[in-house]
Structure 1
């Protein structure tokens, strides 16, 4: 079976309207068979207030998977070398876990996991770092934090265990015209290039709703994958039949 894993990133009270719009956008293709990546306190000024926590519980009860997506989603670390390049080019100050040491990464992971699990009344599906960026200490902390799954831009894996899916995430960028155009070109290429890959991941962000061209590309991409029989799936499915995910 060829799988389609869809996710909404940066789920927070700050982006509640955008999350609702993205849910409506994805529904014709995946229904509620998708994942939400939840930020505990976006940029230190948008904590999970009770009303939003109730919505998260409702979504989880409906079958939407819930991932911990950092605590602040803001990168306050000083970087050198390769990490500095990643921090500058791959994200706009949002790679929270790119510069954290093991102890601080583990502390934030545990806090986020506890908060999310208390909110939804069930285990978190896993952890996905903001901007898919991890320090070595953060990668090492995933196992100690007790997450079932983790993801970066190239793969999904069991912390301390096997890789269960490979291939680039199809995603879009909205923070500049140049990045938006580049992401449109990448999505156009990937929706053809990934057709034979067992597991395809598509990720959308609140900023996508600000650019009609990105929304049209999201529609075309999801339609291209589902039209050829690819089925919406849960990340948890990778744990029950991982070989189907890495056979290509």
Structure 2
């Protein structure tokens, strides 16, 4: 029988950047309160929708470095977080139904995906003064070009909806659905609240549970309450850990 120290909780805040400075700050406070400190990850977008660039030397960049120095893991989270590609087949279904036009890496070529990955890493590492933890595509969606670029990218970790893996070898390090929320519509909110309530019990047997929040979650009190309950539930039964521990 596993002890609570054997079971891990990986928590993350997505879409971190100047565009959502207030929302990210609110989520960081909530996470730190429920997890007992900065025991979570941030997924940083270099230039959200081409409108909110992360710039070294700005107050937000200084805050990001402070979080990193306190122990918050930093991931590269795409570049624009906006999907401008034309899709067909399964990719078209994913682009339409699994995200609101934000699956940036779903339709990129290997070369373009590699360019954005490398540029994002250089920028974020310059801002935080240290290495990033890995790469996670916006909306957790990867096309063939992105997967090919990842394999030779040098990133230690990657993640999608169902697993965390080593890009170089495709070795799965953790498996199971991410508990996340949706605020775009009442129906999506209701279904995400229901899934979170179910997950608080159904996912307990897993060694690693992942919980992810987005800036838009702060717009609905019901979602914030669910995030707080979910983090508190899992944190009382397992250790809030770093993604890096999976590849140690």
Normalization by structure 1: what TM-score? 0.95
For residue 52 of structure 1, report the CA deviation from its aligned partner: 1.5
Hey, what does 1:221 align to over in structure 2? Answer: 230
Q: Deviations over 1:93-140 (max 9, x none)?
A: 000001111111001000001111111111110000000000011011
Match of 2:38 among 32, 35, 52: 32
**Residues 13 and 27 in structure 2, CA contact (< 8 A), matched pair in contact too:** yes
Alpha-carbon distance in 2 for matches of 1:59, 1:52: 11
Structure 1 residue runs without a partner (length 5+): 241-248
Hey, what does 1:243 align to over in structure 2? Answer: none
Match of 2:189 among 152, 167, 180: 180
Hey, what does 1:201 align to over in structure 2? Answer: 210
Please tell me whether residue 102 in structure 1 is matched to residue 107 in structure 2.
Answer: no
**Residues 154 and 168 in structure 2, CA contact (< 8 A), matched pair in contact too:** no
Alpha-carbon distance in 1 for matches of 2:114, 2:98: 23
Structure 1 residues 11-22: aligned runs within 5 Å: 11-22=16-27
Please tell me whether residue 2 in structure 1 is matched to residue 18 in structure 2.
Answer: no
| Structure 2 SS opposite 1:15 | helix
Structure 2 residue runs without a partner (length 5+): 1-5
Normalization by structure 2: what TM-score? 0.95
For residue 222 of structure 1, report the CA deviation from its aligned partner: 1.2
Alpha-carbon distance in 2 for matches of 1:123, 1:226: 27
Please tell me whether residue 140 in structure 1 is matched to residue 145 in structure 2.
Answer: no
| Structure 2 SS opposite 1:109 | helix
Match of 2:220 among 184, 191, 211: 211
Structure 1 residues 120-131: aligned runs within 5 Å: 120-131=128-139
Hey, what does 2:54 align to over in structure 1? Answer: 48
| Structure 2 SS opposite 1:160 | coil
Please tell me whether residue 164 in structure 1 is matched to residue 170 in structure 2.
Answer: no
Q: Deviations over 1:150-185 (max 9, x none)?
A: 000000001122110000000000011111111011
| Structure 2 SS opposite 1:145 | coil
Task: Give the number of equivalent residue pairs.
Answer: 239
